[in-house]
Amino acid sequence: MVAPVPTATYTGAMNHNLLGLALAGLLAAPAVAQTAPIDSKTQARIDRILKGTPLIDGHNDLAEQLGEYHDGAIAGLASGTAAWPDHPLMTDMARLKAGRVGGQFWSVYIDGTITGDEAIRRTIEQIDIIDRVIAAYPGDLERALTADDIVRIHKAGRVASLIGIEGGRQIGGSLPALRQFYRLGARYMTLTHNQTTEWADSATDDPKFHGLAPFGLKVIAEMNRLGMLVDLSHVSPEVMRQAISASRAPVIFSHSSARALNDHPRNVPDDVLALVPANGGVVMANWVPVFLSKAALERDAAKSAEEARLKTMIRNDTKAVAAGVKAWEGTHPAPPVTVADVADHIEHIVKIAGHDHVGIGADLDGIDEAPVGLTGVDTYPLVFAELIRRGWSDADLAKLAGGNVLRALRGAEAVAASMKGVPASMATLEPAK
């Protein structure tokens, strides 16, 4: 039976206040779910691979976390976040180094219900946070605008830092705003977030267009002209298919997993995975437990149902409802989701799309729980160790790490170069009816 879509599950970077509780629950998981340490021989092999090819993660929501819970403060990111015990982070400079991270797309996220000029302003504020983080830690981070920048910065021992805009509403229906975001460093844009927009259907909302509206096709064409990657995480399967067909450049899925293994709408169906090779795109596997595990998804749906029941039975008493939900959680522990589950999704993507079209988009600091052991940016080597155990070659591990993303970005750059004579689009969004 297909599990119902939970009403209170992952919402991008919206439930971070639960992070501490979620991680505490993971620490209490049964012993069978604990992650084995990496032996020295395997670690040496991982280090050799990631020295030659930068490990590029497709999606990290640090900026939203800092903006929403820490007033945009950027101090304390050198090593550990003990100063913020109520909202611990999954990211700091020491852990980036420990995780052998070579490149990071920093997500600039705002709630997908925000529209128009306010969406543009709030996106600029998120970009400002990333700018200030990069400036504050010059020994650890450096801005990257091209694939060659990523390679150069990685060789220098720093994390190449790019920006990804998480949601098409953030341009406020304005292609000039899209162009300015590119100028400010954005190198991908997710076409929707959790909400269907004025020009594209979301995977987690009612469809309006059964794919893309005409303006959505113009957005993709302008992104191709600029050299900005089209990100198809969060969009409906119809948008996925239409965007892959429309885009002259490789597309990415910055943080999505395989729907065949778990029928969550945020995952990518097999028929779409089969379209990716001809496009040259990359599907970057996510670490959200409810995306990875059917058992976790079903438990989350049951929790949402219990919360709805309590709200009906106990009106006007939010504390009592919260206490009831907490009691329910105590008798319905979360099933362990592990590194092996992440590896299963990676391998399924490879089975359908091939080794040339898979990457990692963990969504750290954008999730309220994580698989056992994968609780921060220091833990990427655990995924590589699991795949080594499964017999992966160095060449294929290097593709997963960042080789595929570098190729996709270079493809977008080449398309932009070929469109130099194409004027900037002056298309406008038709008023909503």
Q: Catalytic residue among 111, 140, 166, 222, which?
A: 166
**Residue 429 domain-assigned?**
no
Residue 83 has what pLDDT? 52
> Is the pLDDT at 271 greater than 60, yes or no?
yes
**Residue 2 domain-assigned?**
no
The structure's pTM equals 0.90
| Whether residues 188 and 299 fall in one domain | no
**Residue 425 domain-assigned?**
no
Q: Taking a C-beta distance cutoff of 8 angstroms, is the pair 215, 238 a contact?
A: no
Q: Taking a C-beta distance cutoff of 8 angstroms, is the pair 220, 186 a contact?
A: no
**273, 306, 334 - which closes a domain:** 334
234 is a catalytic site residue? yes
Q: Catalytic residue among 16, 154, 255, 357, which?
A: 255
61 is a catalytic site residue? yes
**334, 363, 387 - which closes a domain:** 334
What pLDDT, in 10s, does the model give residues 164-184?
Answer: 999 999 999 999 999 999 999
| Whether residues 303 and 287 fall in one domain | no
Q: Worst-scoring range by mean pLDDT, 184-198, 404-418, 419-433? A: 419-433
> Is the pLDDT at 33 greater than 60, yes or no?
no
Q: Catalytic residue among 16, 70, 193, 355, which?
A: 193
pLDDT mean over 238-264: 98
Rg of the chain over Cα atoms, rounded to whole angstroms, equals 21
166 is a catalytic site residue? yes
| Whether residues 106 and 46 fall in one domain | yes
| Whether residues 370 and 261 fall in one domain | yes
What would the two tokens of residue 76 be? 């304390």
At 391, the amino acid letter reads: G
Q: Catalytic residue among 16, 57, 59, 201, which?
A: 59
> Is the pLDDT at 433 greater than 90, yes or no?
no
**Residue 11 domain-assigned?**
no
What pLDDT, in 10s, does the model give residues 415-430?
Answer: 999 999 999 999 999 7
What would the two tokens of residue 325 be? 């939900």
| Whether residues 166 and 229 fall in one domain | yes
Q: Catalytic residue among 61, 68, 201, 365, which?
A: 61
264 is a catalytic site residue? no
| Whether residues 261 and 321 fall in one domain | no
What pLDDT, in 10s, does the model give residues 201-222?
Answer: 999 999 999 999 999 999 999 9
Full domain range(s) for residue 282: 16-26+39-293+338-418
> Is the pLDDT at 20 greater than 70, yes or no?
no
Neighbours of 302 (CB within 10 A): 15
For residue 186, the surrounding DSSP H or E stretch is strand 186-190
DSSP annotation of 34:
P
Q: Catalytic residue among 201, 363, 386, 413, which?
A: 363
> Please, what is the Cα angle at 90 between 88 and 91, to 5 degrees?
115
**Residue 406 domain-assigned?**
yes
Per the prediction, the chain carries an average pLDDT of: 90
| Whether residues 97 and 125 fall in one domain | yes
DSSP annotation of 334:
P
Beta bridge partners of 105: 162
Domain count along the chain: 2
| Whether residues 197 and 317 fall in one domain | no
| Whether residues 169 and 254 fall in one domain | yes
| Whether residues 274 and 401 fall in one domain | yes
Residue 304 has what pLDDT? 86
| Whether residues 180 and 314 fall in one domain | no
**Residue 359 domain-assigned?**
yes
Q: Catalytic residue among 16, 70, 234, 348, which?
A: 234
What pLDDT, in 10s, does the model give residues 370-403?
Answer: 999 999 999 999 999 999 999 999 999 999 999 9
206 is a catalytic site residue? no
363 is a catalytic site residue? yes
Residue 69 has what pLDDT? 87
**Residue 432 domain-assigned?**
no
| Whether residues 315 and 346 fall in one domain | no
